[in-house]
């Protein structure tokens, strides 16, 4: 039988008998002319592709695999994939009659395997009470492969994508079926697994022959696939490196695929780390980061990956190394899709063009993130969802003066709350040296001799001066005058005897302001940030250290717990009126006043952006129940002062002393250990570390 006649019968037949009939001996002497691709192959009416689908018919899952009917549903899903592979291999014979005869012969042998696989599944399904066609079927494979323009397209899309993914599915489900005693189904999957290794090897052989000379397999594969296909489609639920090695794939290809990710249907959120928000809010496009600020942005650029969900997109100037990502994957972290941007032009590369997106999430909204991300707003599945207003009224939220003024204005409502700070500890904004002296004298007349002066738009504890001495020193006066000369508003407030720092993390959405959780805050003796931690109850309550200090502490909570519900409800209309949507953090602390009474200062400052506290809560998702999660940023100079030559030596020592231990099933969580959150090999000035365990809050 001629290959063309066999292929035409498979493509046009409307009965399974004709589609699955083997040709006996075949020849390829009259391949004919290339055909026009049909919208879909001929099929029995019960197996026509579902018309209303967007991407795919839902995968049946494994939750009730011990049930015969559910195992039959899984086999129905697999059988449709085998039938689609049969049809697509017939199509490539008709679509590319001039392809090398050795390639066409290999396709024909593979096609015969696919027919047999379909028949095996059908027979086993019947034994499990399911007929082929009882369930709706997807045409996703057909739509993804049938518009191929070259044989290289075919082997890239079918052999190296969908058949490669089957190396994972076959081995995983063979083991699952065997575990529940279904040895018949397991045997079918074992045989198909062995066949798939040969199919991938055949595709790989021709892929290497046709790809550009000198280009790596991985780079050529990524370049060849077009959205919505991506390397992530070449993986199943569990990753099987052994089968890929048996098919001839290189170690570099396997490692790169292991950490590759892209959303498989859910519209992805786009994340970007821009930690210098206050600088851009203050100076706009005239802002130029200093050396340390630029190093912070570079070193920690990948941190949004720990806030992202699997398949989300993280923008970065340089994708993290495969080895670093593989280490994170191995300890259970979800991996995002990485999209590189040009640092200078801030222009997205074309692989986001035309992609539907779910949300845009910079670290903070400012002129830099608006310029980079707002052009993508048209691609959002819900236009303008959770985007701040374009008029910039929300810029004022970044100032420490807004936080102080709002807290002073709203504070009288709460003055009956036990243990709440008095109004006179709230900071005051000043705009001139004379006004600064007046406020300083006023605070000191009230008994607050130690004061701190902050730039209203200072970043991460920088741009502050502490007034410890009885009188202003000349250098302190010069600092105040110089700051005010540059149109910089200052905020002056008492320096209090802090006992415990913490933060509450919020999220403003179209539906309102919600509480995400609480984190402890670690600050040094100068009040500068060191790290955060989250405990077992962090999503619902203040840290226990703060709650124990609160008055009337009891099983039904404290006045401070109830206060934060009221604070959230009163802050929501402010955000809404200013057009702000997105994350926010409120820093607070417990202190001891001059009489030794414990007080709560519930609003130190409000940060309308992501914070390291929010990142800590997201890291805490990976922690085992009852575990505490800490986050800390280490500076190179502190690591070297501790006796380590560089971050790599420090990281090696840290992770050797605190190896990762995971517990739980089927999705283990981290019970103990330390993880470097950015690559110690490339970090220049900053290394972020997460530590998990019962004592992780003790840095």
Predicted pLDDT of residue 63: 66
User: What is the model's pLDDT at position 59?
Assistant: 59
Mean pLDDT estimate for the chain: 91
Mean pLDDT over 389-409 rounds to 92
pLDDT tens digits, residue range 631-658?
A: 999 999 999 999 999 999 999 999 999 9
pLDDT at 527 over 80: no
Query: Which ranges in the chain are annotated with CATH 1.20.1260.10?
Result: 3-20+76-258
Q: Exposed/middle/buried for 525, CB within 10 Å: 0-12, 13-18, 19+?
A: exposed
Q: Which of 611, 576, 605, 560 is nearest to 407 (CA)?
A: 605
3-state secondary structure of 363: coil
Report how far residue 79's alpha carbon sits from residue 115's, in angstroms, rounded to the nearest whole number: 10
What residues form DSSP beta bridges with 669? 663
pLDDT at position 461 is 54
User: Would the pLDDT of 626 be above 50?
Assistant: yes
> Quick one: pLDDT band at residue 687, thresholds 50, 70, 90?
very high
- 699: pLDDT strictly greater than 70: no
8 Å CB contact between 60 and 74: yes
The size of the chain, in residues, is 699
Tell me if the domain spanning 397-610 has CATH number 3.30.470: yes
pLDDT higher than threshold 70 for residue 385: no
- CA pair distance 203, 107, nearest whole angstrom: 9
> For the segment 88-125, what is each residue's pLDDT rounded down to a tens digit?
999 999 999 999 999 999 999 999 999 999 999 999 99
* Residue 559 pLDDT level (bands cut at 50, 70, 90): confident
Residue 30 has pLDDT above 60, yes or no: yes
Q: Residue 395: what pLDDT? A: 93
Contact between 551 and 419 under an 8 Å Cβ cutoff? The reply is: yes
Q: How far is CA 698 from CA 483, 533, 636, 692, in A?
A: 37, 9, 21, 11
Contact partners, residue 114, CB within 8 Å, separation at least 6: 82, 83, 85, 86, 89
Q: Sign of the C-alpha dihedral, residues 376, 381, 382, 386? A: negative
* H or E stretch covering 286: none
Residue intervals of the chain classified under CATH 3.30.470 are 397-610
Of the listed ranges 127-136, 328-337, 492-501, 539-548, the one predicted with least confidence? 539-548
Model pLDDT, residue 497: 94
DSSP per residue, 301-353: TTGGGGTSPTT-EEEESSPPPHHHHHHHHHTT----EEEEB-TTT--B-GGGT
Binning pLDDT at 50, 70 and 90, where does residue 53 land? Answer: very low
Asked if 591 and 599 touch (Cβ cutoff 8 Å), the reply is yes
- For 222-234, how does the pLDDT look when each residue is reduced to its tens digit (9 = 90+)? 999 988 899 999 9
Q: What is the pLDDT of residues 581-596, one digit of tens each?
A: 999 999 999 999 999 9
Q: Assign domain 3-20+76-258 to its CATH architecture.
A: Up-down Bundle (1.20)
CA distances from 620 to 419, 461, 544 (A): 30, 25, 16
Read off the pLDDT band of 253 (50, 70, 90).
very high
The per-residue pLDDT for range 427-464, each reduced to its tens digit, is 999 999 999 999 999 999 999 999 999 999 876 555 78
Read off the pTM. 0.88
User: Could you read off the pLDDT of 330-347 as tens digits, one per residue?
Assistant: 999 999 999 988 755 556
Residue 508 has pLDDT above 90, yes or no: yes
């Amino acid at each position: 039988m001629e290959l063309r006649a066999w292929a035409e019968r498979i493509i046009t037949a409307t009965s399974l008998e004709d589609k699955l009939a083997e040709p006996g001996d075949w020849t390829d002497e009259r391949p004919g002319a290339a055909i026009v691709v049909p919208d879909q192959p001929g099929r029995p009416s019960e197996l026509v592709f579902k018309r209303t689908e967007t991407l795919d018919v839902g995968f049946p899952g494994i939750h009730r695999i011990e049930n015969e009917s559910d195992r039959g549903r899984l086999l129905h899903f697999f059988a449709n994939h085998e039938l689609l592979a049969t049809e697509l291999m017939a199509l490539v014979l008709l679509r590319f009659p001039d392809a090398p005869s050795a390639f066409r012969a290999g396709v024909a042998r593979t096609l015969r395997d696919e027919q047999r696989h379909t028949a095996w599944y059908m027979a086993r399904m019947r034994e499990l009470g399911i007929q082929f066609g009882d369930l709706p079927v997807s045409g996703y494979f057909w739509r993804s492969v049938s518009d191929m323009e070259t044989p290289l397209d075919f082997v890239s899309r079918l052999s190296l994508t969908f058949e490669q993914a089957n190396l994972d599915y076959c081995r995983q489900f063979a083991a699952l079926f065997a575990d529940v005693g279904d040895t018949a189904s397991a045997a079918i999957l074992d045989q198909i697994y062995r066949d798939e290794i040969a199919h991938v090897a055949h595709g790989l052989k021709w892929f290497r022959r046709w790809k550009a000379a000198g280009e790596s397999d991985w780079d050529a594969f990524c370049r060849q696939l077009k959205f919505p296909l991506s390397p992530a489609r070449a993986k199943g639920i569990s990753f099987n490196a052994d089968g890929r090695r048996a098919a001839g794939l290189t170690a570099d290809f396997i490692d790169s695929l292991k950490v590759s990710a892209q959303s498989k249907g859910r519209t992805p959120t786009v994340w970007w780390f821009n930690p210098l928000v206050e600088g851009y809010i203050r100076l706009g496009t005239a802002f130029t980061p200093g050396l340390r600020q630029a190093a912070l942005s570079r070193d920690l650029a990948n941190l949004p990956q720990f806030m992202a969900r699997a398949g989300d997109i993280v923008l970065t100037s340089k994708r993290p190394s495969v080895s670093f990502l593989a280490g994170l994957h191995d300890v259970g972290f979800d991996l995002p899709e990485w999209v590189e941007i040009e640092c200078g032009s801030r222009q997205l590369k074309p692989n986001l063009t035309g992609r539907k997106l779910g949300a845009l999430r910079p670290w903070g909204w400012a002129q830099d993130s608006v310029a980079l991300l707002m052009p993508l707003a048209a691609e959002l599945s819900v236009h303008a969802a959770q985007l701040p207003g374009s008029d910039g009224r929300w810029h004022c939220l970044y100032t420490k003066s807004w936080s102080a003024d709002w807290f002073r204005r709203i504070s009288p409502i709460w003055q009956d709350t036990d243990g709440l700070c008095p109004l006179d500890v709230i900071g005051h904004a000043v705009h001139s040296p004379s006004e600064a002296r007046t406020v300083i004298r006023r605070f000191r007349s009230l008994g607050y001799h130690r004061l701190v002066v902050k730039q209203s738009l200072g970043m991460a504890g920088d741009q502050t001066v502490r007034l410890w001495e009885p009188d202003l020193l000349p250098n302190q006066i010069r600092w105040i005058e110089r700051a005010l000369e540059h149109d910089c508003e200052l905020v002056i407030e008492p320096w209090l005897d802090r006992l415990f720092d913490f933060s509450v993390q919020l999220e403003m959405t179209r539906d309102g302001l919600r509480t995400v959780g609480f984190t402890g805050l670690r600050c040094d003796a100068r009040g500068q940030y060191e790290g955060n931690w989250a405990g077992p109850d962090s999503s619902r309550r203040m840290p226990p250290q703060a709650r124990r200090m609160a008055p009337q502490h009891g099983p039904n909570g404290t006045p401070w717990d109830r206060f934060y519900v009221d604070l959230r409800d009163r802050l929501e209309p402010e955000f809404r009126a200013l057009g702000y949507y997105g994350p926010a953090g409120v820093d607070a602390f417990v202190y001891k006043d001059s009489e030794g009474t414990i007080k709560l200062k519930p609003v130190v400052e409000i940060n309308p952006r992501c914070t390291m506290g929010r990142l800590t809560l997201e890291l805490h998702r990976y922690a085992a129940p009852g575990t505490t999660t800490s986050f800390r940023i280490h500076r190179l100079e502190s690591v070297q002062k501790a006796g380590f030559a560089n971050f790599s030596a420090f990281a090696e020592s840290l992770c050797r002393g605190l190896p990762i231990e995971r517990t739980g099933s089927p999705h283990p969580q981290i019970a103990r250990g330390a993880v470097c959150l950015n690559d110690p090999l490339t970090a220049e000035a900053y290394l972020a570390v997460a530590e998990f365990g019962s004592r992780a809050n003790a840095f």
